Each structure stands twice: as structure tokens, then as C-alpha cells.
Structure 1
Amino acid sequence: MTTPVTIVGAGLGGLTAARVLHVNGIAATVYEAEPSAETRTQGGQLDIHPEDGQRALKAAGLYERFQSIIHVGGDALRVLGRDGAVLVEQPDGADSGGRPEVLRGRLRQILLDSLPDDAVRWGCKVASARSLGDGAHELTFTDGTTTTTELLVGADGAWSRVRPLLSTATPEYVGMSYVEMYLHDVDARHPAVAETVGGGAMYAPAPGKGILAHREQGHVIHTYVALRRSLAWMAAVDATEPATAIARVAAEFDKWAPELTALITDGFTVGGVAPVVRPLFT
């Protein structure tokens, strides 16, 4: 198979590129390793800046649809001490520079809906890419099939299969990982936590660790627990044993305010959803 323009990765970057090409009359095929758009959640909220993200959405003809999914109030910010005391309070819109918050998943769906039905090929995991000369490239997928393209765009993240064509650089662990979890129906079930986080983002930093939470639409609080630990230590935060994993993480925040540690402990005990470890790589 040969396609004029091939994009590897159906994340926000790859889909935006495909949409901008589409509105300019240039067809592109996007290959994505995941089997469908519903395979997993797409992470938390993004603040979309005027100089890049908003500019790209305007070029894609999707700016008005983007405005319809903005989380009003999501720009609010507070910084807390480990005792729960408010150290910094910034209301929604103050000094934000016009960077509204939106959910990644909702923005991704807008992009998917704006493309032709056959633009994204799901379940196509790239194993390798090689140059054929004169700007052409060949992709080999994990099922053994191949495709050639006149223009190749790599939008496949830190572990890109396209990057080796340009650089020998490989991702390196920065020594910090996030443990991701959620609280649902927070105003009814977790009023003290909801009050602590507020209407936007909440940061409770400390040396080598921290609790970061963001209020999302639909009475949801999305939490990232930051820990400066080795990959081996983080591997013991085992999603197949979520209660043990949560206890291991919560122990790192001994003597912190209960309304902060509840973001960790209640993330499993009430919702029953296992935590997800996300190591950070350069």
C-alpha cells in the first residue's frame, strides 16, 4: 500500500495535523497502535494557549467547537502546604493569558469527528520505519504488513518509531513518576476533598513528592501523585493489587492533611479503580 501523507499516532498532534491537511485539500492517513478510540482514557485536562494550540485549532476550522468544550472555572489555581493550609490562591482567569482548560478526550473526539471515516487506521502498531530515498519511507507494522509514503510525520510520542530516522536520542527516565487516579461524584461523596481542591487546579508540593489535582467537568477530581522514586520502586505499585498499591503510595504522605491524603486513599476505596503509574521520560 502507498499513501501520499502518512502520520503515525492518533493523539492530539497527529489528528490536528491530519485535520489541517484535510481542510487544505490534502489527504492523510493516520496509523494508530490502539485498536479503537475507546481503548483507554486520554488523560486529564490541557490548557490551550493562544500562540500554538488555539492557532492550530483555528487553522483546522475547529475553534468554535473547541470553545464549546471549555471547562469554565478550570483556570482557578491554589497551592497548599502539606497541612492543607492555602499558600496561594488565584481565581479563574487571573493572569491565565487566555489559556482555557479542556479535557483531552473531548478535544480528541472533536478532531476524530472532523476527519473522513477512513482517515484513521486503528490497530496498526509500527515496528520500524526506513528511508527509501528521495523523501519516501516504508513503515513495517507488528503484523508484518508494510506501507510506503511520500511524506512521513511522526506523532507517536516519547517512544516514537519515526524519531530514529532523525536522531539517535532515546528517552531517559527523569527520576519522577506520577500515579494517576480519580474521584467521582466528589461534591456528594467527598465534600471535604472537593472544598480543598476548589474549582480548578490544586498543587501540594514537597521535596521529592507532591499531590496534584484538577477539578474536571462532571463532578470529577483527577489526581496525579508525584514521587521521585526509581523505576524498580514504582514497579511495586502494582495495578493488579490496587489496595496494596494505594497503601504503598499513601505511606509516602504520612502526617499530611487527611483531606489531601484522601485524594490517594479514596481514589481506590470508593471508586474501585486501580491506580495507573506514569513514569516521566525526556
Structure 2
Amino acid sequence: MSSPAPSRARISVIGAGPGGLTCARILQRHGIAVTVYDHDTDPAARDQGGSLDLRAEDGQLALREAGLLDGFWKLARPEGQEMRRWNAAGILLNSQVPEEDDLYKPEIDRSQLRGLLLDSLEPGTVHWGRALESVGGPHDGPRLLRFTDGTTVETDLVIGADGAFSKVRPAVSPATPHYSGVTFLEAWFDDVENRHADLAAMVGRGSGAATDGERAVFSQRNSGGHMRVYLIRRAPVDWIAAAGLDVGDTDGLRAHLLAEYGHWSPDMLRMIVDNDGPYVDRPLFVLPAPHTWEHVPTVTLLGDAAHLMPPVGVGVNLAMLDACELALALAGATTVDEGVRAYERTMLPRSTEMALALDGAADFLLGMGDHVEGEDEFRALEAKLEQRSGRTG
């Protein structure tokens, strides 16, 4: 089958996260029809996660191409770039406060970003409650999307923007995510200025981190008076069940965490056990570094589906940059195949470089704080990220 022109192709994006929605928005701005399928039943079906920092050279660039940068600035929190670090005793080691005109990586809630993108799309673009089971059909198309409800859709291009455990990925690659050995346990705090005033004052307007070298805490202010705290530890992927608990046993998990973090100061322990509501288990999975594939003219990947890395502030930014470059490549190509090739020529080397730079960074997340070696590692990793982005100073 000959590859169709993008303007006449049936293009299907799997996944209505920031990457998939950014791709759809930019395609529509260039007059290219697209349909997005997502397994959620509606936009509010589940919590979208915490705050994101959108960087000037990737996340913000993508929003500019999407025509949404002004809308972003109405929601963004430049003050959220503030970063504090403590030791396990709760002693402040350093604080980085952004300059008033520093707009390099302001924060925005993930739900707000998703809402901004959803509202920009043509009505009916996103089909909710469509969980993909597999991608069939010949490599040169047309492809057949098989959904778990038994329905099928024929399409000319499948864009996998469906995250870590992508159902699209097997159509181009046999790679599967593996557990990094590091797990996050997420805790929520509501109305922090009133109900958790001491923690609000301690964390400030942005984020904060502490470690004892074996376990860590990362706290993050969100909009609307909310805060999220991530408890970072090395543990088996099934550590909750192995402890005879389940994720809904909040009191049991608190007792378990107190035993692990018991030598931390009372101020730090409040971040760990004074949360409102249940914890959320978030084990960290990564793809092999690097992850590449042989070109297929009818399927490609972006974001975590293409390059799942440790969460050190690049994931959503890279997903949105991928989405932007893919959409622009298709808009400037004579055929879908040509556009996908052009995109992958840029994206795969970039993701390879970044994945290799961040290989093992899940363990690094436990080494920040009052340990000089860990702090040096953190600075080295920041330097790698800034070197990649071309940012100096």
C-alpha cells in the first residue's frame, strides 16, 4: 500500500495525555484531521497527578506551536520553581529562589495543562472509554485498532502516546518496561495553609527534598492549596503485599513508614504520616536505555511509550516536544511515511542521548541532600540536562 498524504490520512492517537493532546492540537492547527482514543471513561475519571515544570526549550515551545502559550501563562506558577533541600533532621541545607523574571520552567498542575489542551481541540476529537487491546494489520497499512470492547477501527497511522505500558509499542518493538528497584508512595495534603500550616511554611512556594541516603522525601506544592509528597525508597515491587498490607490500609502503611523513617525529625515525619486520605503506590518502571526500533511507516511512538525514563523533570517536556515535532513533520511531508521518518530521525537520537544520561537516575533520587557525593551527583545531572537543552547559566 502506498503511504497517503497526511491531509488525506486517517490518523489515530492513542492516549489523551499531554503528549497525545499536544500532537492532536498541532495537527488540527495545520488542517490535518486526527482522532484521539483514551481508555478513561471521561476527562475526570482519575487523578491526573501533580505539578509539572514546563521548560522553555521543549514544553513551552510545544505550547507555542499549539497556539496555547498565552493560556499557559494564565495558569502557570513561576514561583513554583523555588526548591529547598533539608537533611533528615529537618535542617535547611539550601534554598533556590527564582528571580522575578525567571520563566524558564514554571509549574502548572497536570490537570490544568490537560484541560487547556482538551479545550483547544475540535469537538469530538477525543473518544473516551476506548481502551486499546492491540494493533493489527500489515506494516504498510492500513492498520487495525482492536479495542477491549470488541470494536475495531481501520487507520493509516497509529501514534502511540499511551505511556509506560503502551499497547501500541509491540507493533514496532518487543521492549517492555522493567522495575527500577525504586518506588514512590504518594501522599496528598489539602488546604495546607490552614490544615498543615507548618508544612506549608517549611516547603514554601515550590518543592523540597530530603534524604538519608537510603530513602528520600520529595514535597511539591500544587495550585488550590494542595501539596503532594512522594516517599522514595528502594523496595521490592510488591513490598506492600509482602508487608501483609494493601494500599488502602492507610494506618498500616503509616505504621510501616514510621518504622522506616523513625530516625527522621518530627518536622520531616509530618510530611510522611500527616497526609489526608490514602497513599498511592507508584513503582518506577523504565525502558531499556536506549530504546530504538526499525522504522514502520504506519506506527510511531512518543513520550513514555517511546522512552520511559526516571522522573527527574524531563518526561512531560520530552513528550510534548516529541508531539510537536511529529505533528510539524507530518504537516510538512508529502506522505505519512515521509513525516514519520523525518520525526524519528530527530527524536530517536535525542531520546537515546537522554536515556543514557539518565540511566540509573532512579537510584540517584535517593542520594540528594546532606551527602556531599549525592549533591555533586545532583549538580552533575542538572548540568547534563542543561547541556542537552543548550541552556547555559
TM-score range, shorter chain: over 0.9
Alignment RMSD: 1.8
Q: Which has the higher helix share?
A: 2
| 1:6/1:152 contact within 8 Å kept | yes
Asked if 1:275 corresponds to 2:279, the answer is yes
Runs (5+) with no aligned partner, structure 1: none
Deviation readout 1:201-250 (Å, 9 max, x if unpaired): 10012323101001122222111111110012134552222211222223
Which among 178, 181, 184 is matched to residue 187 of structure 2? 181
Q: Report the Cα offset of residue 4 of structure 1.
A: 0.5
Aligned AA (2:26)? V
Do the aligned partners of 1:181 and 1:264 also contact (CA within 8 Å) in 2? yes
After TM superposition, the structure 1 = structure 2 runs for residues 223-234 of structure 1, keeping only pairs within 5 Å, are: 223-234=229-240
SS at match of 1:74: helix
In the alignment, structure 2 segments of 5+ residues that lack a partner are 1-8, 287-393
Q: 1:84 touches 1:196 (CA, 8 Å); kept in 2?
A: no
Structure 1 pair 59/230, CA: closer, same or farther in 2 (3 Å)? same
Distance 1:208 1:135 in 2: 50
SS in 1 for 2:62: helix
Q: Percent identity?
A: 39
Q: Deviations over 1:38-85 (max 9, x none)?
A: 011111111111111111101111010011101141000111000000
**1:10-63 residue CA offsets vs partner (Å, 9 max, x unmatched):** 000000000000111111111100111101111111111111111110111101
Partner of 1:239: 247
C-alpha separation between the residues in 2 aligned to 1:5 and 1:210?
Answer: 43
What does residue 110 of structure 1 align with? 116
1:278 counterpart SS class? strand
Shift in Å at residue 97 of structure 1?
A: 6.9
Match for residue 225 of structure 2 among 216, 219, 239: 219
Q: In structure 2, what is the Cα distance between the partners aligned to 1:10 and 1:246?
A: 34
TM-score by length of 2: 0.68
TM-score (norm 1): 0.93
Shift of 1:92: 2.4
**Relative to 1, partners in 2 of residues 1:73 and 1:90: Cα closer, same or farther, differing over 3 Å?**
same
1:95 Cα deviation after fit: 11
Map 1:78-117 onto structure 2 (within 5 A): 78-93=84-99, 98-117=104-123
| Contact 1:34–1:124 under 8 Å retained in 2 | yes
Shift of 1:93: 3.9
Matched to 1:138, the amino acid is L
State the distance in 2 between where 1:89 and 1:133 align.
52
- Kindly provide the amino acid, as one letter, of the partner of residue 281 in structure 2: V
1:188: Cα distance to partner?
1.5
| Total equivalences in the alignment | 277
2:256 is matched with 248
2:216 is paired with a residue of what secondary structure? strand
Task: Look up the match of 2:347.
Answer: none
Residue 13 of structure 1 corresponds to: 19
The residue that corresponds to 2:325 in the other structure is none
Deviation at 1:257, TM superposition (A): 1.4
Give, in whole Å, the separation in 1 of the partners of 2:131 and 2:81: 36
Give the secondary structure class of the aligned counterpart of 2:138: strand
* CA 1:167–1:37: 2 relative to 1, 3 Å: same
For residues 1-282 of structure 1, what are the structure 2 equivalents within 5 Å? 4-93=10-99, 98-235=104-241, 236=243, 238-267=246-275, 271=276, 273-282=277-286
CA change 1:134–1:222 in 2 (3 A) is: same
Q: 1:211 to 1:95 in 2, by over 3 A?
A: farther
Superposed CA offset, 1:71-121 (max 9, x none): 141000111000000111110249977111111100000101111221111
Task: Tell me how far apart the structure 2 counterparts of residues 243 and 23 of structure 1 sit (CA, whole Å).
Answer: 50
Q: Is the 8 A contact 2:14 2:37 kept in 1?
A: yes
Q: Which has the higher strand share?
A: 1
The superposition leaves residues 161-191 of structure 1 with CA deviations (integer Å, 9 ceiling, x where unpaired) of: 1111111110000001111111111122222
Give the aligned residue type for 1:214. Answer: Q
CA distance in 2, matches of 1:137, 1:254: 55
